Structure 1
Amino acid sequence: MLVKEWARLEGLHPQTVWKWCRQGTMPVPVEQTPTGMWLIHDPKYETASHPNPAGSRTVCYARVSSGGRKGDLQRQADRLKAFAVGMGVEHPEIVTETGSGMDDKRRKLNRLLSDPTVGTLVVERRDRFARMNMGLVESALKAQGRRIIVVDDTEPDDDLVRDMTEALTSFCARLYGRRAAKRKTDAALRAARDA
């Protein structure tokens, strides 16, 4: 589990826990990932809090928005795998995808969400899973006894800030999408007139 989450559960300040991690004075096992992130392995929280139902799978989902970011995609997948292994998953599955976080046209993610054998989805950040309405997906999965684990949940805690960010993201996507569509339409009309 992450430092912030463990500190909250133990009633400690995260800075104190990070200091203990660096000094090697933590009362429970810890490890530092190759990217520098500290993972805390406290048996009383990891094994008892959210066991996977028998037969369910844990899948790590990594996404980037364009093909030019393949290196980022691999590093993201490696971090997720290290996190899942730290959680106690022996052989975590890794699913990688390239596509926009603004639409629902991601075949691999749709397959994972519709597969009832996937009990836990692990994502690096909320925006790697979906730019908007992630709370709705989390609620739907929770109703089925499934869950999403966000490794780096450092987004603003203020609901108003999160809602404003989602709204602006949506407006920008529509605006730039319309511009691109208009340019393509104009180019097609010019080609038809010139032919």
Structure 2
Amino acid sequence: MLVREWASREGLNPQTVWKWCREGKMPVPVEHTATGMWLIHDSKYEPQSTHVASGRTVCYARVSSGDQKDDLQRQADRLKAFALAMGMDDVQVVSEVGSGMNERRRKLNQLLADATVGTIIVEHRDRLARLNFGLIESALTAQNRRIIVVDDREVDDDLVCDMTEILTSFCARLYGRRAAKHKAQAALQAAQDA
């Protein structure tokens, strides 16, 4: 689990916990990742394995462009921390750079085709796919596999969510994939202002 979460549960200041991590004074096991993130492994807060689906557990991290590589590593670290907090063992992390609108993402396609992968963990729904997340989820469920979304907050209004997806798709074709999200947001803002 992350330092802030552990500090909150223990009633401590996060700065104190980070200091203890750096000085090696933590009363529980800690892990220092390559990106500088501290992961705390406290058995009283990490539930025993609730892993239902059989097979391997894979964390899938994705960013849209190469200039977001630092974000990609941080996303992968958060996913691994989440999986460990759920009590999952031997977690593999797969990272990929590519558009969420592109169905030709090699690593994702390999994960979806690999029947030995029982659980795929993603940070947000759009990290897996911008469109048709539900179809992918249904297909995996039919194979006794599952997707876990760490942060599953969504827009409450389904119509707004559908409209955003459609606008993003159209803008991607018209303006290029990178500018699509910004153009879709601008179109939604203009519609709200009208």
Query: Normalization by structure 2: what TM-score?
Result: 0.67
Residue 52 of structure 2 is aligned to residue 51 of structure 1: yes
Within 5 Å, which residues of 2 pair with 1:1-16? none
- Matched residues, percent identical? 66
Q: Hey, what does 1:156 align to over in structure 2?
A: 155
**Displacement, 1:24?**
4.6
Structure number, greater radius of gyration: 1
Please give the alpha-carbon distance, in whole angstroms, between the structure 1 residues aligned to 2:150 and 2:160. 20
- Gap regions ≥5 residues in structure 2: 12-36, 39-44, 180-194
Q: Give the residue type in structure 2 aligned to 1:99.
A: G
Which position in structure 2 is the counterpart of 1:183? none
Check conservation: 2:47, 2:86, Cα contact below 8 A. no
Residue 14 of structure 1 is matched in structure 2 by none
Give the TM-score, by structure 1 length.
0.67
Say how many residue pairs are matched.
148
Structure 1: tracts of 5 or more residues without a match: 2-17, 26-33, 181-195
Residue 91 of structure 1: CA displacement? 1.8
> Per-residue deviation at 1:157?
2.9
Deviations 1:29-77 (A, max 9, x none): xxxxx69xxxx7556xx62xx5122xx0000000011111110000000
Amino acid of the structure 2 residue aligned with 1:52:
A
Cα deviation code 1:96-142 (max 9, x no counterpart): 00001001110000000000000000001111111100000000000
SS in 2 for 1:116: coil
Residue number in structure 2 paired with 1:191: none
**RMSD across aligned C-alpha pairs, in angstroms?**
3.0
Question: Corresponding residue for 2:146?
Answer: 147
**Structure-1 residue corresponding to 2:101:** 102
Q: Is the 8 A contact 2:46 2:84 kept in 1?
A: no
Question: Match of 1:190?
Answer: none
CA distance in 2, matches of 1:161, 1:87: 32
Equivalent residue number for residue 87 of structure 1? 86
